Structure 1
Amino acid sequence: MAWFRSLIRVSGIKPRNRAPNPFSLASLASLSTEATNKYSGLGPTVPAEKPRVVVVGSGWAACRLMKALDTNLYDVVCVSPRNHMVFTPLLASTCVGTLEFRSVAEPISRIQPAISREPGSYFFLANCTGIDGDNHSVHCETATDGPDTLDPWKFKIAYDKLVIALGAQPLTFGIQGVKEHAIFLREVYHAQEIRRKLLLNLMLSDVPGISEEEKSRLLHCVVVGGGPTGVEFSGELSDFITKDVRQTHAHVKDYIRVTLIEANEILSSFDDRLRHYATKQLTKSGVRLVRGIVKDVKAQKLVLNDGTEVPYGLLVWSTGVGPSPLVNSMELPKSPGGRIGVDEWLHVPSMQDVFAIGDCSGFLESTGKPTLPALAQVAERQGKYLSHLLNRIGKAGGGHANGANGMELGDPFVYKHLGSMATIGRYKALVDLRQSKEAKGLSMAGFVSWFIWRSAYLTRVLSWRNRFYVAINWLTTFVFGRDISRI
Structure 2
Amino acid sequence: MAWFRNLIQVSAIRALIKPRNTHPPLSLYTSLTHFSTDPTTHQTPPTNPIQYSGLPPTKSNEKPRVVVLGSGWAGCRLMKGIDTEIYDVVCVSPRNHMVFTPLLASTCVGTLEFRSVAEPIGRIQPAISRAPGSYFFLAHSTGLDTDNHVVDCRTVTDEANTLDPWNFKISYDKLIIALGAQALTFGIRGVTENAIFLREVSHAQEIRRKLLLNLMLSDVPGISEEEKRRLLHCVVVGGGPTGVEFSGELSDFIIRDVHQRYAHVKDYIHVTLIEANEILSSFDDRLRRYATKQLTKSGVHLVRGIVKDVQPQKIILNDGTEVPYGLLVWSTGVGPSPFVKSLELPKSPEGRIGVDEWLRVPSAQDVFSIGDCSGFLESTGRPTLPALAQVAEREGKYLANLLNKIGKAGGGRANTAKDMELGDPFVYKHLGSMATIGRYKALVDLRQSKEGKGLSMAGFVSWFIWRSAYLTRVISWRNRFYVAINWATTFVFGRDISRI
Same fold (TM over 0.5): yes
Q: Which residue of 1 aligns with 2:156?
A: 143
How big is the shift at 1:147?
4.8
Number of residue-to-residue matches in the alignment: 465
What is the alpha-carbon distance in structure 1 between the residues aligned to residue 307 and residue 48 of structure 2? 55
How big is the shift at 1:54?
0.1
How big is the shift at 1:299?
0.4
Q: Which residue of 2 aligns with 1:428?
A: 441
Q: Which residue of 2 aligns with 1:375?
A: 388
- Among 312, 315, 325, the residue aligned to 2:328: 315
Matching of residues 79-478 of structure 1 within 5 Å: 79-478=92-491
Matched-pair contact (CA < 8 Å) for 1:127–1:140: yes
Alignment deviations for residues 58-87 of structure 1 (CA, whole Å, 9 cap, x no partner) = 000000000000000000000000000000
Matching of residues 58-97 of structure 1 within 5 Å: 58-97=71-110
Matched-pair contact (CA < 8 Å) for 1:87–1:461: yes
Alignment deviations for residues 169-197 of structure 1 (CA, whole Å, 9 cap, x no partner) = 00000000000000000000000000000
Q: Which amino acid aligns with 2:438?
A: G
Matched-pair contact (CA < 8 Å) for 1:51–1:399: yes
Alignment deviations for residues 138-191 of structure 1 (CA, whole Å, 9 cap, x no partner) = 000001114542111100000000000000000000000000000000000000
Q: Which amino acid aligns with 1:347?
A: R
Q: Which amino acid aligns with 2:321?
A: T
Q: Which deviates the most, 143-152 or 367-376?
A: 143-152
Would the alpha carbon gap of residues 276 and 197 (structure 1) be closer, same or farther in structure 2, given more than 3 Å must change? same
Matched-pair contact (CA < 8 Å) for 1:344–1:363: yes
Residues 1:31 and 2:7 are matched in the alignment: no
What is the alpha-carbon distance in structure 2 between the residues aligned to residue 31 and residue 125 of structure 1? 24
What is the alpha-carbon distance in structure 2 between the residues aligned to residue 334 and residue 342 of structure 1? 8
What is the alpha-carbon distance in structure 2 between the residues aligned to residue 291 and residue 35 of structure 1? 57
Instruction: Flag structure 1 segments of 5+ consecutive residues without an equivalent.
Output: 1-20
Structure 1 runs (4+) greater than 2 angstroms displaced: 24-30, 32-37, 146-149
What is the alpha-carbon distance in structure 2 between the residues aligned to residue 431 and residue 26 of structure 1? 61
What is the alpha-carbon distance in structure 2 between the residues aligned to residue 33 and residue 74 of structure 1? 36
Q: Which amino acid aligns with 1:172?
A: T
What is the alpha-carbon distance in structure 1 between the residues aligned to residue 422 and residue 47 of structure 2? 45
Matched-pair contact (CA < 8 Å) for 1:133–1:352: yes
How big is the shift at 1:331?
1.3
Q: Which residue of 2 aligns with 1:12?
A: none
What is the alpha-carbon distance in structure 1 between the residues aligned to residue 22 and residue 204 of structure 2? 42
What is the alpha-carbon distance in structure 2 between the residues aligned to residue 32 and residue 466 of structure 1? 46
Matched-pair contact (CA < 8 Å) for 2:104–2:204: yes
SS in 1 for 2:291: helix
Q: Which residue of 2 aligns with 1:6?
A: none
Q: Which amino acid aligns with 2:498?
A: S
Matched-pair contact (CA < 8 Å) for 1:47–1:400: no
TM-score scaled by structure 2?
Answer: 0.91
SS in 2 for 1:31: coil
What is the alpha-carbon distance in structure 1 between the residues aligned to residue 452 and residue 244 of structure 2? 24
Would the alpha carbon gap of residues 310 and 405 (structure 1) be closer, same or farther in structure 2, given more than 3 Å must change? same
Alignment deviations for residues 85-135 of structure 1 (CA, whole Å, 9 cap, x no partner) = 000000000000000000000000000000000000000000000110011
Q: Which residue of 1 aligns with 2:7?
A: none
What is the alpha-carbon distance in structure 2 between the residues aligned to residue 25 and residue 315 of structure 1? 47
SS in 1 for 2:45: helix
Q: Which residue of 1 aligns with 2:9?
A: none
SS in 1 for 2:286: helix
Q: Which residue of 2 aligns with 1:18?
A: none
How big is the shift at 1:34?
7.0
Matched-pair contact (CA < 8 Å) for 2:275–2:303: yes
Identity across matched positions, percent:
84
What is the alpha-carbon distance in structure 1 between the residues aligned to residue 375 and residue 49 of structure 2? 40
What is the alpha-carbon distance in structure 1 between the residues aligned to residue 267 and residue 354 of structure 2? 51
Would the alpha carbon gap of residues 32 and 90 (structure 1) be closer, same or farther in structure 2, given more than 3 Å must change? farther
Q: Which residue of 2 aligns with 1:15?
A: none
How big is the shift at 1:48?
1.7
Matched-pair contact (CA < 8 Å) for 2:50–2:166: no
How big is the shift at 1:332?
1.2
Matched-pair contact (CA < 8 Å) for 1:429–1:453: yes
Matched-pair contact (CA < 8 Å) for 2:307–2:318: yes
What is the alpha-carbon distance in structure 2 between the residues aligned to residue 33 and residue 409 of structure 1? 49
SS in 1 for 2:385: coil
Matched-pair contact (CA < 8 Å) for 2:23–2:47: no
SS in 2 for 1:279: helix
What is the alpha-carbon distance in structure 2 between the residues aligned to residue 46 and residue 353 of structure 1? 17
Alignment deviations for residues 253-282 of structure 1 (CA, whole Å, 9 cap, x no partner) = 000000000000000000000000000000
Matched-pair contact (CA < 8 Å) for 2:23–2:48: no
